[in-house]
Structure formats: structure tokens, C-alpha cells
Structure 1
């Protein structure tokens, strides 16, 4: 039973670290950009868009499709950065413990 007790302590410690990580991610932000910085989009660590900055040079009727594409590209950039940040946090949380393929935290 000693091993079970140790395992439960480890699980509780991981739950505590998970809660801390989630709180940290709520405060974190990432900014993606496209068009050489003409469009900048900010996401929270949870993936919620919190800001959008569009250069005034793109605010022309004939630039509508370009602007739409740049916003999508900026979002993709920010999302990739957010996912990388989350992966790094998870790596530190699990102590580099390799998780089975498809096993994702938080549950």
C-alpha cells in the first residue's frame, strides 16, 4: 500500500500544479502577426481573442479580401504560439515525463 499512497501524493501534487498552470495561462497572452506586422492579433493563454490591431493602410474597400486573409493568418500565428506555450507549460508540469500518444492534459 505504500506505493499507492506515494502515487496518490504525486497525483495531488500534479493537480495542484495543474491549477497553478491554468491560472498562469489565464493571465498570459500571445500576439500573432501577418503582413509584416500590418495585422496583429492577441490571444489569451486560453485561446480567447483579446485584441486586434489593423494598420490603417489596409482600411480600404479594395483591400477587404487581403485584410480578411491577414486576420486569419495572424490568428493562426497567435494560435500556434499559444499551443507552443501550453506544450512548454505541460512539459514543465509533467517533469518531462513522456505521455502516451493522444494523452492530453488537462483531461
Structure 2
């Protein structure tokens, strides 16, 4: 019976740490860039775009170039966000022996 109690205690501990980790993730901000810093996209920890910056010089380009640069900057930011959220979750889940655990993004 003691083993079951230990398992329940670990589950409660993991739940508390996961809630804390989720709050930490919400606070994350990442910046994705493209075109030699001509386009910057900032995402929050939930993947919502908070800001986009476009240099005046790049506005002179044609529409398709600008669209490609925005997409690339967003994809760059999304990649950084995945990395940061996985790091945060690994800090939490690492001590609990959950192999291959990944944050769903």
C-alpha cells in the first residue's frame, strides 16, 4: 500500500509542477527574424503573435517577397518557442521519468 501512496504523492507533485510550468510558458516571449532583421515577429508562450516589425526598406519589395519574409520570421519564432517550451517542460518532467514527453505545439 505504501508504494501506491508514493505514486499518488508523485502524481500530485507532478501536477503542481506542471501547472507552474504552464504559467512559466505563458510568460515566454520569442522573436523570429528573417531577411537580415528586416522582418521580426514576436510570439507569446501560447504561440499568439504579439507584434510584427517590418523595416521601411523591405516595404519597397514586391508583395510576394514580403509575404515570404513574414512567413519565415513566424516559422523562426515558432521553432524558438517549441525549443523554449520543451526546455521548460523537461525541467519539470525530467525528474519524473516521462520519456519522450513533449509539449503539444
Per the normalisation by structure 1, the TM-score is 0.87
| Unmatched tracts of structure 1, length 5 or more | none
Where in structure 2 are there 5+ consecutive unaligned residues? none
CA distance in 2, matches of 1:17, 1:28: 17
* Displacement of 1:95: 2.1
Instruction: State the secondary structure of the residue aligned to 2:94.
Output: coil
Deviation at 1:45, TM superposition (A): 1.1
Off by >4 Å, runs of 4+ in structure 1: 103-106
Aligned to 1:11: 11
Relative distance call for 1:105 and 1:76 in structure 2 (3 A) is closer
Structure 1 vs Structure 2 CA RMSD: 1.6
Alignment map for 1:1-107 (pairs within 5 Å): 1-60=1-60, 62-95=61-94, 97-100=97-100, 104-105=102-103
Q: Which shows bigger deviation, 89-98 or 36-45?
A: 89-98
Structure 1 position 105, deviation (Å)? 5.0
